[in-house]
Structure 1
Amino acid sequence: MESRMRDKESLVRRMAWPESASRAVGTPIQPSVVYASPDPDTLDAQYEGRVQGYTYAREGHPNADVLAFKIDSLERADGGIVLGSGMAAVAAVLMGLTRAGDHVLGGDQLYGRSLRLMREDLPRLGVATSLADPTDAARFIAAIRPETRLILLEVVSNPTLRVADMAAIMAEARARGVLVVVDNTFTTPRGYQPFAHGADIVLHSVTKILAGHSDATLGYVAAADPAHRKAIYDFAVTVGFTPSPFDCWLAERGLYSFELRYDRAEENARALADHIAGLPGVRRVLYPTRPDHPDHNRAVALLGTRGGHMVSFEIGGGRAAANRLTQAAPNIAFAPTLGDIGTTLSHPASSSHRALGAEGRAALGISEGFFRVSVGVEDINLLTHEFETAIRAATA
């Protein structure tokens, strides 16, 4: 009877992980929501930072910490935080570090949802916002106010691939005590390391090329100042920007091949940009290190030869031509994303920047014939053939 009772009890009792003289090569997935401590004193010690330990997954879990450590090593950062999405990272920074009466200045070609957060959400909470062109340092600096708390920048803008004057803006921000936040998603630490150039905070949509396989939704943020890190972390935990352990595990697996994928995609992007530029019917091609890029000199100064894996181009013919192009490229995923291992094609007017309206898009140079390409690791000859076929079909 006693033996049978022990057997029944064991069904609902958690067991310790089996001991082993060997170790797993792959990182284990830890989906536990809660963690048991031996006593209240130990729990106090954990919350007070005197011992390391996990309490509740919303406050942190092992898979998130393993991934954060990996990205920290790429960004030369310490104490990075992994969150549920790239926009969770943006929101945690802006909400965690500002209060009513502050002002936030952003680049005028930020990611579409970052623009919405700036234009609609922060102002209703009493935080003033404005946008300026970061490729024109004088104009951008003129938009800084006495109450400006922080500046949000992308080194290379989405989707027009303009290059911000990071050196001049950072120098002025440092002189005025304004925090500089850099969204490094496009450039990645392979192309640009913001902390080495004076940034205060760096964030990523890990969903994109860091994870690299369109199967994990995550964000990352790191701060140079521990006090800023704590403010960001506290806000993220309070509102529940919790990352999935499974997504963290997938992203860590993708990160192992990040440098190989990035280098191959960048090589392909450079060749694809040159090829598309020579096709009839193409009005313009944007790639940061091409000599005809409007910010070419600045791009070379900031990025060297690292032009990145993104290419944008424009054709005439309006929406009808845009439809013909995507329909003539069935093997290239037409999807509002970037950084997949395979090439994807997006149309900002109908996706990321649709909320701006035609007039707002026109001001940024985004027409109905404007496309953004996230170049993958396919054979370059295959890519040039597919894009040439699609562009010819669209512009015939």
Structure 2
Amino acid sequence: MKRTLMRPDGLPDSLSTPVVTPLMPSVVYASTSPDELDSQYEGRAQGYTYAREGHPNADVLARQINRLEGCDDGLVVGSGMAAVTAALMGLTRAGDHVLGGDQLYGRSLRLMREDLPRLGIETSLADPTNVDAFRAAVRPNTKLVLLEIVSNPTLRIADIDGIAELCRDKGILLVLDNTFTTPKAVQAFDHGADVVLHSVTKLLAGHADVTLGWVGAKDPEIMQKMRIFAVTTGMTPSPFDCWLAERGMYTFDLRFDRTQDTARRLADHLATAPGVKRVLYPTRPDHPDAARAQSVLQGQGCNIVSFELDGGRAQANAFAEAAKGIAFAPTLGDVGTTLSHAASSSHRALTPEQRAALGITEGFFRVSVGLEDPDALIACFDDGLAAARKA
């Protein structure tokens, strides 16, 4: 019997190439010699060594997002919060001060309030819609500002241009979370961002079957600091998730347009529906930041609608239970519409008083609009509203 080695000697030769990116789950990559390995680590040759330091599926996906965001270098990591963490902890050290918007995503708020301070990094929060509030909150040791362009879940529009000018004047790094808005609505680097990040899990990948993040910078030195931190702390993305997300990216433009059109219709319908206290959608003239929404988003509203029911938890329970066909789930960007209740999910760690200060009540919901028929979707919401009124 002919004896063979455990691993095959490379892939079969082929003049043709696959149309679909192959899934490449290999953790390790073989080099021919120590000199060749040195060449890769020292940047004289392109290649892969160990998947924690990079792999082909992550790089293919990163190139897609890099093009959308208009930068040459970006890094795919294991989640949106990994992207936030790579930026905040890769670019700051003990003694620095980080200033954030006071309506950040719940886990970003927790990172700011609890995790960074125990590592010696000072933090504080200010109203992102008010540049004067940010100016007053800047300290001599302020190193970085973190903003969501559109806040989660209250859909307030940050004064990113005013705060970007402030950051330039003070030599402060500006990090913009572009998850809700996406590059289709906002080119964040054009508004003065030093770093842009995404939860790729959401609208970019778009199918609720991957957990990924992306963080990018135009300055190679800034990018290298974040990359080193991400590699050292093991923020490695799954090749399979990257492969799935790449597939989702090919329909991103189509999904964005369709879900945005439906979101506008839903917001206008809810605004006149009995039992609805208020509706938040960026293109509506009654949005509290309507003028800024127009200038920043250029007429785009994106796929998120938030609204508040008359009443409290009893009405919220009745609505969620009766709106059949709408997944009650703390996510956004899926092909199907999802309903999220901030008080019991993303912002549950806040006290009732802290939630109230943000405008989040027990009757407050965030809707991530999907690809359903708009009339069918509105009918589901009407069923839920009828049940809430009875409750």
Question: Structure 1: which amino acid aligns with 2:4?
Answer: E
Q: Work out which of the residue numbers 4, 10, 22 in structure 2 matches 1:9.
A: 4
Question: Which amino acid in 2 is paired with 1:290?
Answer: R
Match of 1:137 in 2: 131
* 1:15-26 equivalences in 2 (<5 Å): 15-26=9-20
What is residue 386 of structure 1 aligned with on the other side?
A: 380
Do residues 48 (structure 1) and 42 (structure 2) align? yes
Q: 1:325 aligns with which of 315, 319, 340?
A: 319
- Which residue of the partner structure matches residue 204 of structure 2? 210
Contact 1:85 1:217 in 2 (8 A): yes
| Structure 2: unaligned runs, 5 residues or longer | none
Partner of 1:195: 189
Partner of residue 274, structure 1: 268
- Give the secondary structure class of the aligned counterpart of 2:215: strand
> Following TM superposition, by how much is the alpha carbon of 1:357 offset from its aligned partner in structure 2, in angstroms?
1.6
Q: Deviation at 1:22?
A: 2.1
For the residues of structure 1 that align with 2:385 and 2:215, how far apart are their CA atoms? Answer: 38
1:315, 1:395 within 8 Å by CA — same for their partners in 2?
Answer: no
| 1:164 match | 158
1:314 aligned residue: 308
Partner of 2:351: 357
* Distance in 2 separating the partners of 1:304 and 1:342: 26
Letter in 2 for 1:169: I
Matched, 1:151 2:149: no
Q: Distance in 1 between matches of 2:302 and 2:360?
A: 20
Q: Which residue of 2 aligns with 1:33?
A: 27
Distance 1:110 1:77 in 2: 24
CA contact (8 A) 1:286 1:312 kept: yes
Rounded Cα–Cα distance in structure 2 between residues aligned with 1:346 and 1:84: 23
Query: Matched residue pairs, number?
Result: 390
User: In structure 2, the residue corresponding to 1:117 is in which secondary structure?
Assistant: helix
Q: 1:171-209: per-residue Cα shift (whole Å, max 9, x none)?
A: 010011100000000000011011111110000000001
DSSP-derived class of the 1:18 partner: coil
Equivalents in 2 of 1:26, 1:48: separation in Å?
31
Pick one of 85, 99, 110 that aligns with 2:104: 110
Residue 224 (structure 1) aligned with residue 236 (structure 2) = no
Q: TM-score, normalization: structure 1?
A: 0.97
**Which residue is 1:73 aligned to?**
67
- Give 1:9 deviation, angstroms: 1.3
Q: Deviations over 1:1-25 (max 9, x none)?
A: xxx23xx314x12231112222211
Whole-angstrom distance in 1 between the partners of 2:96 and 2:280: 35
* Alpha-carbon distance in 2 for matches of 1:360, 1:13: 58
For 2:116, which of 98, 112, 122 is the aligned residue? Answer: 122
Cα contact 2:324–2:380 (8 A) shared by 1: no
Letter in 2 for 1:135: T
Query: 8 Å contact 1:135–1:165 — kept in the other structure?
Result: yes
Which of 339, 354, 360 matches 1:345? 339
Report deviation, 1:164. Answer: 0.5
Q: Distance in 2 between matches of 1:139 and 1:182?
A: 18
Determine the structure 1 residue equivalent to 2:295.
301
Residue range with higher mean Cα deviation, 384-393 or 348-357: 384-393
Find the residue that maps to 2:349 and give its secondary structure: helix
Letter in 2 for 1:9: T
Q: Deviations over 1:106-163 (max 9, x none)?
A: 0000011000000001000100000000111111221111110000000100000000
Bigger shift: 370-379 or 19-28?
Answer: 19-28
Match of residue 367, structure 1, among 349, 361, 369 = 361
- Write the distance in 2 (CA, Å) between the matches of 1:243 and 1:100: 27
Q: Which runs of 5+ in 1 are unaligned?
A: none
3-state SS, counterpart of residue 356 of structure 1: coil
User: CA–CA distance in 2 between the matches of 1:14 and 1:361?
Assistant: 58
Aligned counterparts of 1:97 and 1:304: Cα–Cα separation in 2: 31
Shift of 1:317: 1.9
Detail structure 1 runs of 4+ shifted over 6 Å in the superposition: none
Within the candidate set 171, 175, 191, 1:177 is matched to 171
Q: Does 1:58 align with 2:52?
A: yes
CA shift for structure 1 position 284: 0.1
Q: What letter is aligned with 2:335?
A: I
Cross-structure match for 1:97:
91
CA distance in 2, matches of 1:232, 1:207: 20
- The separation in 1 between residues aligned to 2:161 and 2:229, in whole angstroms, is 30
User: C-alpha displacement at 1:305, in angstroms?
Assistant: 1.2
3-state SS of the aligned residue for 1:9?
Answer: coil
Q: TM-score, normalised by structure 2?
A: 0.99
